[in-house]
Amino acid sequence: PTLFSHLPRYGGDPILALMDAFSRDPRPDKVSLGIGLYFDEQGRLPVLSSVRQAQEALLRNGGPAPYLPMEGSASYRQAVQELVFGAQHPAVLDGRIATMQSVGGSGALRAGADLLRTQLGCTQVVVPDPTWDNHFALFEGAGYQVGGYPYYDTATAGIAFDAMRRFLATLPARTVVLLHASCHNPTGMDLDAAQWRELAGLFAERNLIPFVDMAYQGFGDGADEDAASIRLLADAGLEFLVANSFSKNFSLYGERAGGLSVVCRDAAAAEAVLGQLKVTVRRSYSTPPAHGAALVGAVLQSPELRALWLQELTTMRQRMRDMRQALHAALVARCGQAHDFGYLLAQRGMFSYTGLSPDQVRRLRERHAVYLVDTGRLCISGLTSAAIDHVADAIAAVLE
Residue with Cβ nearer ligand PMP (167 or 253): 253
CA proximity to 262, closest of 399, 146, 121, 114: 114
Q: For the sheet with 240-245, list strands across it.
A: 97-103, 257-263, 240-245, 209-214, 176-180, 124-129, 145-150
In whole angstroms, the minimum distance from the beta carbon of 235 to ligand PMP comes to: 23
The b/e string for 216-234 (b: 16+ C-beta within 10 A; e otherwise) is bbbbbbbbeebbbbbbebb
Which residue is at the shortest CB distance from ligand PMP?
104
CA proximity to 344, closest of 187, 219, 193: 187
Query: Count of residues for the chain?
Result: 400
In whole angstroms, the minimum distance from the beta carbon of 11 to ligand PMP comes to: 19
Q: What DSSP state is assigned to residue 59?
A: H
Residue with Cβ nearer ligand PMP (130 or 258): 258
278 flagged as catalytic:
no
* Strand 377-379 with 370-371, pairing: unpaired
CA angle 338, 343, 344 (to 5 degrees): 100
Question: What is the three-class DSSP state of 65?
Answer: coil
Residues sharing a CB contact under 8 Å with residue 147, sequence separation 6 or more, in sequence order: 124, 125, 126, 127
In whole angstroms, the minimum distance from the beta carbon of 215 to ligand PMP comes to: 4
In whole angstroms, the minimum distance from the beta carbon of 40 to ligand PMP comes to: 18
309 flagged as catalytic:
no
Structural contact between residues 124 and 144, judged by C-beta atoms closer than 8 angstroms: yes
Q: Which of 190, 196, 248, 309 is catalytic?
A: 248
In whole angstroms, the minimum distance from the beta carbon of 361 to ligand PMP comes to: 19
In whole angstroms, the minimum distance from the beta carbon of 225 to ligand PMP comes to: 18
30 flagged as catalytic:
no
Give the binding site for ligand PMP (CB under 6 A). Answer: 36, 104-106, 132, 180, 185, 213, 215, 245, 247, 258
Residue with Cβ nearer ligand PMP (50 or 245): 245
Q: Which of 132, 190, 226, 309 is catalytic?
A: 132
List, as one string, the DSSP characters of 181-240.
Answer: SSS-TTT-----HHHHHHHHHHHHHHT-EEEEEES-TTSSS-HHHHTHHHHHHHHTT--E
Residue with Cβ nearer ligand PMP (360 or 381): 381
Q: Which residues are known catalytic residues?
A: 132, 213, 248
